[in-house]
Structures are given as structure tokens and as C-alpha cells.
Amino acid sequence: MIVAGCDVGSLSTKVVIMKDGEIISHHIVETGFKPDLAAKNAMDGALSKANLSIDEVGYCVSTGDGGKNVSFAGKYVSQLPCLSKGSYFFVPSVRTVVDVGGNASRAISVGKEGRVLGYRLNDKCAAGGGRFFDTLAEALEVKLDDLGPLSQQSKSPLEIASQCTVFAESEVISLLNDGKDIVDIIAGVNQSIASRIASLAMNVGVKEDVVMTGGVAKNIGVVKSLEGWLRVGIKTVPADPQIVGAVGASLLARKELQES
């Protein structure tokens, strides 16, 4: 039984293909301004990696901000159950999922078999989501992927006083102009976002095990800083943390097929 999950996020679109309960391929593309096209491209990429054609996919569930109009999906499901099921697939002991994506961050309280018990969401303010990093990495002229490793070299992280992404951007530029060490600035940026994610997580209630998903989970600086704020160890999934929602969607696709 071949199924697929398609997660159309604000910044990136992910497709996961599963066969008999195992992931056989995944593909990630940038969403851009045409979510339906991004979904198609991500699907084509994942199909070609698995040497399959779309006709061989028994069912596809879509999710994500832009996932409502995916032509090849049989059903749309919100991100929360997808993230929760996906995390449960990788870490069955999961009780809390912290997902930090491009335009939103979520903390989900997870019950039996990956069921959603409660959640908190921030999609109103860019501070606390991946967009905060995109903006600041650009201002600092550092690659997004380097923010984590560079922050680990810092001995005395600077405090970023501004919460607003726009104001924080000016703040880091003036810190740079004042001759402050860039690794200390980056460490400060990571701590600042981690503190906002932490308050979201504490709001929903933190129970171990805590799993972090979404693109920002690739930033080791944020993960470590969040561990400090929450005083718990954070588990990451043994796969790209960006695909967890799509994995959950494909698990739900499997369930649809089994029940039909």
C-alpha cells in the first residue's frame, strides 16, 4: 500500500511517500507564491526518487497553510494532528511537540497514539517563528544553516532587547556596527527566539518526552537554548525535522485507505 502526505507550508513544501508503513522517499521545495505548483513539484520530486508514478499512490492527505487546494490530495487535515501523528511515529514516548515552522510556532500536548490533547499557536507575530531567523540571518549576512553551529562558539551571548523582528533587525545591525562579536550576537538571537518558544510550550504544559519539529529544529543553538529554558532534554526525530507534518499526513492517508 503506497500513500503520500503533502505539507504545504508558508516557506517550504514537503512530500513524503510511504509504503506499508515505511518512508520510501521525501522531497522538499520552496513554496513561493504558487502553493499548488509547489505541491506538484514536491510530489514529482518524491515520486521520481521512489521510481513511482502518481497513479501508484493509493491516497494522499494534504496539510499546511497552503494545503487546501492540492489537486492530487483526497483530503485536507490541519497541521496539528499531522505533526502529532508524525512525531508519535518517530518517538512513541512523545507527550509534547514543539513545532517551529516558517510562519508559525506551535506547542502541542500529545496523548495516546499521537492524539492531540491541546495546543498553543503563534502565527500573528514573526518573532518566534522561522521568519525571525530568515530576516536576521540576512541582516547578519550569515547562512541560515550556520546560525546554530556559529552560536555554539559564543562565550558570552548578547541580549537582544527587541521582540519585534523589524526592530531586532536594526538592533543586530547596530550591535555589529559597535564591533560586537558576531557569534555572541547569533547566540543572543537564538536565545531570544528560544525564550518565546519556551513560553508557548510552558503555556500548553511541558511533559516529557518533548520532540521538536520544523525547520528551526535543525538549529542546534535554539534546541540547546530551549532545553535550558524548559529544563528538559529535547528529542529530535531520526529524519529531517521539516518532514514530520508530511509524515503524519501520509500516516493519516494510510488510515483512510485501511478504513475505506
Residues of this chain that bind another protein (CB under 8 A): 10, 33, 103, 124-126, 131-132, 135, 162-167, 177
Contact 197, 128 (CB under 8 A): yes
- Paired residues of 121 in beta bridges: 106
Residue 164 Cβ vs another protein, minimum distance, rounded to whole Å = 5
Place of cell 491541546: 118
What is the smallest separation between the CB atom of 78 and another protein, expressed in angstroms? Answer: 19
Whole-angstrom distance, CA of residue 17 vs CA of residue 168:
39
Shortest distance (Å) from residue 132 CB to another protein: 8
Q: How far is the CB of 31 from another protein (least distance, A)?
A: 11
Residue type, 147: L
Q: How far is the CB of 188 from another protein (least distance, A)?
A: 18
CA separation for the pair 241, 245 (Å, rounded): 9
Return the number of the residue (124 or 143) whose C-beta is nearest another protein.
Answer: 124
In the complex with another protein, the residue whose CB is nearer, 124 or 207, is 124
Burial class (CB in 10 A: 0-12, 13-18, 19+), 236: middle
Nearer to another protein, 122 or 242 (CB): 122
* Between 103 and 195, CB nearer to another protein: 103
Q: What separation in angstroms does the CA of 168 have from each of 39, 130, 159, 185, 251?
A: 33, 14, 11, 11, 39
- Cα 37 to Cα 15, 185, 259: the distances in Å are 13, 38, 30
Q: Would you say 32 or 233 has its CB closer to another protein?
A: 32
- Select 18 or 200, whichever has its Cβ closest to another protein: 200
> Is 209 exposed, middle or buried (CB count within 10 Å of its CB: 0-12, 13-18, 19+)?
middle
**What φ, ψ does residue 20 adopt, rounded to 5°?**
50, 45
Strand partners, 110: 116
Q: How far is the CB of 5 from another protein (least distance, A)?
A: 25
Smallest separation (angstroms) from another protein to the CB of 229? 21
* Cell numbers describing residue 9: 507550508
Q: Residue 67: in which H helix or E strand, if any?
A: none
- Comparison of 107 and 136: residue with beta carbon closer to another protein: 136
